[in-house]
Amino acid sequence: MNHTDNKSVTSFYEHASEEERQIIEQVVKGLADKREGRFTSNVSALFNLEADNGEELLTLHMPVTPMLYNSLGIVHGGVTATAIDTAMGTLANRTVPEGFGAVTSQLTIHYTAPVSGTEVTAHARIIHRGSKTMVLEGWLTGSDQKRMAHATASFFLIPKK
């Protein structure tokens, strides 16, 4: 980044709305957390996706912030899908044989209610574990435990490079 870019970033921040500042601060904090090793992916870092240590049922918590909103002012459906896919993928990758990774090969999601509240939880569990593929299901709930989306996904098991 050159001096002109630094000035434009500074100028933007100085004139930013409170919501824009909150988003900038979330992005910077996420990148710093990833640099410090708190997260292994940029997606998890930027959305602040915190997973538990479950091996049969995994839960992943995500704060609801303005960065996640679509043009209607509600959480974007792609963010919901990303949270559920990340929960399922995290669980799949925790259970694959040594030297392998799991990657999403198919994802089907059904949205059942708009996301509400200040934090949501993505849940994941394994339905089938084969030698080359896995099938998982996942769902998203709010603090009231209301289900907002339900998904199934297939994962290919691939050798790690």
What are the sequence ranges of the domains in the chain?
48-159
Question: Per-residue pLDDT averaged across 18-32, rounded?
Answer: 87
User: pLDDT grade, residue 159 (50/70/90)?
Assistant: very high
CA distance 88 to 86: 5
CA distance 69 to 75: 4
* Cβ contacts of 109-112, under 8 Å, gap ≥ 24: 109/77, 109/80, 109/81, 109/84, 109/149, 109/150, 109/151, 110/149, 110/150, 110/151, 111/77, 111/80, 111/148, 111/149, 112/147, 112/148, 112/149, 112/150
CATH number of 48-159: 3.10.129.10
User: pLDDT grade, residue 1 (50/70/90)?
Assistant: low
